[in-house]
Every structure is written in structure tokens, then in C-alpha cells.
Amino acid sequence: MRLRFNALAAHEAAIDAVTASGGGVVERVEDRCHTADRTVRLIERYGNRGLAQRSTLDALAVSRPQVAGCVAAARALERATARAGDVAAVGERAAGSLDDDVARVLRGVSEDACASVDAATDALVEAVGGSSRVPSAHDARRQCARVRRVADCVERAALDDDAAAMRTPSTAAVAVRAIDGLVGTADCGAAIAAVALRMAVGAQR
């Protein structure tokens, strides 16, 4: 799915900007955000046509709930790409200010957030294919939960005067803002997983 690739590539560039001070990332991620927006508008247009015209559903061999679910998932992938833009903007301001340990944690959180989106999209594809079992959806939810647990730890450390890694207020602020964007991405994965699970339940009926 083009939207999945777009979102994950945007996050890869964004986290590089935060942890390695890559330049020009915001512009590249913004381009991906524009691509996601155009793609979602196209999906919405076809989705609305499918919901309104039975002949379109028959031609695509899909049901109305499946069409509605795919549109919802596309919007979630668009939001995930937008959150990459938020992370990239943080990276532009970070300018290599992060402690190596904090950078490693953020990169790990980014990988988990992206894994949540990736697994959830796999689950959606399985569900659209008519599967009543979508284990990837549960994987996505677990990844999202892990992101939230680590985010809580990072936020607590940012408030702890004794946390050596958060050596300056600016470091703590960068870490918290980046984490916030990554949590938003993981939540998008959880939202797509929920769509896939609803479709799978519908396939059992």
C-alpha cells in the first residue's frame, strides 16, 4: 500500500533528523505529507462512489463495511505521515543536542511505532481478503502499548532533575516533543488494527 510506504519512509527520515541532525528533512517529509493528502482524497472519492453505487462495490468485489474501513485506515495512515512531520520539525530544532542514550531510546520507540503501523496495515489487508483471523492486528496493539510505556518513562525522566541523559531543559523538551509525535503514530497503528479487527469479526457472521 502506497500510503504505508509513504508514512514509514517519512518516519525514517524524521527520526534521523532527531537523532543524527540530518538537514533538509522537513521539506522531504512535507512532500510525503502532500503525497499522502492527495492519495487519501483519491481514496475518499472512490470510497464515496462505492458507498453510493452498488455496481462499483460489485466491480471491486468488496462490501460497504470494507470500503468504509479502508477509507478510515487511509486517513489514519495520513495522520501517521503528519506525525512524522511533527517529529521532523523537532529534529530541525534539535541540532545534535540529544544524549546518545536518549537518541537510542527515541530510535527504538520510532521503530516500534512504525512496526505498529506496518503490522496493522498487514492485518487490514488480511481482513479485506476475507480472513476472520488477523494476528497482525494484535501485534500492532502490543507495539502501540510498548510505545506508550516507553513514552511514559521518557516523560518522567524529563521531569527528573537527577536524570543525567536529560542534561538540559532543551534536551528534555526535544525528547518529549519527539515522543509525543511517535505516540501519535503508534496510535494510528492501533486505529488501523481496530478497523481490521472489526472487519474480521464481520467476516465471521
Q: Distance between CA 120 and CA 141 in Å, rounded?
A: 8
Q: Within 10 Å of residue 91's Cβ, how many Cβ atoms?
A: 29
2-204 CATH, one of 4.10.780.10, 1.20.120.420, 1.20.58.220, 3.30.460.80:
1.20.58.220
77-132: pLDDT as tens digits: 999 999 999 999 888 777 666 778 888 889 999 999 999 999 999 999 999 888 87
Let me know: does 78 contact 40? Beta carbons within 8 Å.
Answer: yes
Taking all residues of the chain, what is their mean pLDDT, rounded to a whole number?
86
148/99: higher pLDDT: 148
Confidence of residue 27 (pLDDT cuts 50, 70, 90): confident
**Cell numbers that stand for 48 in this block:** 464515496
Q: What predicted TM-score, i.e. pTM, was given to this entire model?
A: 0.89
Q: Where are the domains of the chain?
A: 2-204
Q: Distance between CA 82 and CA 103 in Å, rounded?
A: 21
